[in-house]
Amino acid sequence: MKNTGHDMDKLIKKLQAIVGEAFVSDAAEERYLYSMDQGTMPPAAPDAVVMPKTADQVVQIVRLANELKVPLVPMGGGLVLSGLTRALKGGVIVDMKRMDTIIEVNPASRYVVVEAGVTQGKLKAYLAKHHPDLKHSMPDAPPAATIAGNVCIHGSGHLSVLGGFHSDMLTGLEVVLPTGEIVRTGSCSVSDKWFAKAPLPDLSGLFLGWSGTTGFVTKLGIRLFPNYRHNDVLVYVCETADKMPEIIYRLTSAQVAEDMTPWMTPKPEWARGFFHINIAFGAHSKKELIFKRNLLQESVRPITETKAAGFLPIPPVQKARFLEIPSPDLARFADARKGGGFEYVGAIMAIERFAEAYAQGTKIAEKYHTTYSLGARIIGAGHAMMFFFAYAFNRADSDDVDRAAAALEETNRACLEMGGIPWKAEAPAQKEILKQMDPGTAALMDRLRNTLDPNRIMNPGNWEI
């Protein structure tokens, strides 16, 4: 944003007139806090921060930004880790946290409608209190992460074997376009119900995976699922990466798991060199739970009988940790270097690439001497996986940060070479993706952005052709 002091005064006063003086700031300390996330991307400070409360206020902010040619950066929980909510070209970060109303729960059709600032933790607590027989798919993220933010980055969670990516669980959107109009996608554009995107033309994709460059999501509907009374987890362990695709194929064929997360880590020592798969499932009764457990065990019996793999006995006292949602292990690993720095490359890729992804991850971690953890989340009935390469670093140690950043950059390239696609890609990774993308697809993306956002005010610096 190339504004004189006079222009900034004008911008601040107009923003205050829209949302109130208490919800606009250009103070140095707040601009600093909003300049980065917990990842390795360098800071990029906004000129100001604004927190709207209503969709109408978002409309007014967007119209003002077009009038003054000021960039806008949508922000949910600010926990994306890859710097997507940094103000790469200055402007105003629009923090959506005040828009935090849970609007409707429809138990019969199992969906919920929420505003953009509703967090994972708030919805989980609300359902537990008011609809204890329902739950939503939670990512392994802090409770402060927003529902909308995770859906918009094609996130995944503890029900992704059942329902796919969180964007697959979307039933509809309300969006403020970059020009200030409000539109709805899905059944809510025709009906007062938010039950599905089908059978209408699916316009929701214009706002998913675009890193906030095509509009502001202000409301969304997502699917809910049965919250079982009885829950269990099995851990299957094998000795070779090459066997993992077959094991995953067999386990998903049983069609009873809710979540399936392979993991590999050099610590603790007992886990080094082994490939673990956590398989979570639930049931309405103990009898049904035993039936599902037997189905899972039977699905991999041919492999178990070879003695090259088997189920890990878990004492009841330890099982509760495996059943925690979200998993606490990610938070523990994030501070492994005691510096509060953590980032990972999540590659969406074909499951048959598992062994190759593991080999590349360990090779890169050893090359850069980084603390690492590798793993995956299985999507659908083995239709794809989100394979993650996680690196912890000490933010106070610049050399440690540089090593982690270099490891991430090389991992992004390796993912693309393996036929995968880096998930929630930071700006440098976006450029690598665009280089490899079909030219016609890249050109279409650019045309769509020009059409939706003629003044290019929405999160410029991301997905730039």
Q: What is the pLDDT of residues 341-395, one digit of tens each?
A: 666 788 999 999 999 999 999 999 899 888 788 999 999 999 999 999 888 788 7
pLDDT band of 331, cuts 50, 70, 90: low
Look at residues 178, 167, 151, 172 and name the one whose alpha carbon lies nearest to residue 94: 178
Average pLDDT, the chain: 93
Q: What are phi and psi of 218, to 5 degrees?
A: -110, -25
State whether residue 138 is helix, strand or coil. Answer: coil
Range with the lowest mean pLDDT among 4-8, 233-237, 311-315, 376-380?
4-8
8 Å CB contact between 118 and 97: no
What confidence score (pLDDT) does residue 54 get?
Answer: 98
CATH of 5-95, one of 1.10.645.10, 3.40.50.1980, 3.30.43.10, 3.40.50.150: 3.30.43.10
Question: For residue 40, what are the CA distances in angstroms to 29, 342, 410, 449, 453?
Answer: 20, 8, 14, 27, 29
Residues 6+ apart with CB under 8 A from 276: 235, 236, 237, 262, 263, 264, 312
105 forms bridges with which residues in the sheet?
112
Tokens of 7: 């222009």
> Does residue 402 carry a pLDDT above 90?
no
> Does residue 334 carry a pLDDT above 60?
no
Rounded Cα distance, 256 and 147, in Å: 25
Residues 6+ apart with CB under 8 A from 27: none
8 Å CB contact between 352 and 386: no
Look at residues 441, 458, 440 and name the one whose alpha carbon lies nearest to residue 449: 458
What confidence score (pLDDT) does residue 322 get?
Answer: 83
8 Å CB contact between 261 and 378: yes
Using alpha carbons only, what angle is made at residue 117 by residues 64 and 75, rounded to the nearest 5 degrees? 55
CATH, range 102-226: 3.30.465.10
The domain limits of the chain are 5-95, 102-226, 230-323, 328-425
What confidence score (pLDDT) does residue 21 get?
Answer: 97
8 Å CB contact between 320 and 374: no
What confidence score (pLDDT) does residue 394 get?
Answer: 81
**Same fold? 230-323, 328-425:** no
Range with the lowest mean pLDDT among 144-158, 327-341, 374-388?
327-341
- pLDDT tens for each residue of 193-202: 999 999 999 9
Class of domain 230-323 (CATH, top level): alpha beta
> Does residue 261 carry a pLDDT above 80?
yes
What confidence score (pLDDT) does residue 276 get?
Answer: 96
Establish how many alpha carbons lie within 13 A of residue 145's alpha carbon, considering only the half-sphere containing its beta carbon: 22
pTM reported for the whole predicted model: 0.93
> Does residue 2 carry a pLDDT above 60?
no
Question: For residue 414, what are the CA distances in angstroms to 279, 405, 411, 432, 462?
Answer: 28, 14, 5, 11, 21
Structure-model confidence comparison of residues 245 and 267, the more confident one: 245
> Does residue 286 carry a pLDDT above 80?
yes
**CATH classification of 328-425 is 3.40.462.10, yes or no?**
yes
What confidence score (pLDDT) does residue 260 get?
Answer: 97
What confidence score (pLDDT) does residue 316 get?
Answer: 83
What confidence score (pLDDT) does residue 330 get?
Answer: 55
Establish how many alpha carbons lie within 13 A of residue 395's alpha carbon, considering only the half-sphere containing its beta carbon: 15
Residues 6+ apart with CB under 8 A from 20: none
Rounded Cα distance, 390 and 371, in Å: 8
pLDDT band of 30, cuts 50, 70, 90: very high
